[in-house]
Chain A
Amino acid sequence: QKEVEQNSGPLSVPEGAIASLNCTYSDRGSQSFFWYRQYSGKSPELIMFIYSNGDKEDGRFTAQLNKASQYVSLLIRDSQPSDSATYLCAVRGSSASKIIFGSGTRLSIRP
């Protein structure tokens, strides 16, 4: 079992709709959770981080964490073509050292 798992996609969402990206992790003691956006040919950009169970909102983005289910998600409201990218889920485990990255979900927003 991979430490951080994501569906590779591509996930195709119409413009203006909500895009939902999901991630599961294996280390039950994981402390902090991150979402990155990576455009093709560019380096990843940190867009959200969350520590506690529940929702955290920042503009059109909402991160959701459920530690009991070992599940973290990212919702993008009012999806725009500029949101088309690969989204990486990342988790800092119980050892509190390195962050482990998922392989990413490719999101495509269709006009």
Chain B
Amino acid sequence: GQNIDQPTEMTATEGAIVQINCTYQTSGFNGLFWYQQHAGEAPTFLSYNVLDGLEEKGRFSSFLSRSKGYSYLLLKELQMKDSASYLCAVRQGQNFVFGPGTRLSVLP
């Protein structure tokens, strides 16, 4: 079966660092993707991993361990505009299977 888990909600303070975890059990794996979605807007691509390790893109980093079925998204120097939902997705062939998303609230 397909199962992707993320925490439902997280809260952090402006300027801090937050780590959003994602665990997955899927029948196929062609990469793990992270998307950001502000309320009422399109999901936008942040980062992806296909090999184990850390990928860094500015304030955002994503980590993958395929043997553990685990990924995290790390957001540094949080800003108020980072308040959004963060979606973890596993690509299987040409399809993307999404997790439930984590709603992050950044407080002043």
Q: Do A and B bind each other?
A: no
B contact residues vs A (CB 8 Å cutoff): none
Q: Which residues of A contact B (CB under 8 A)?
A: none
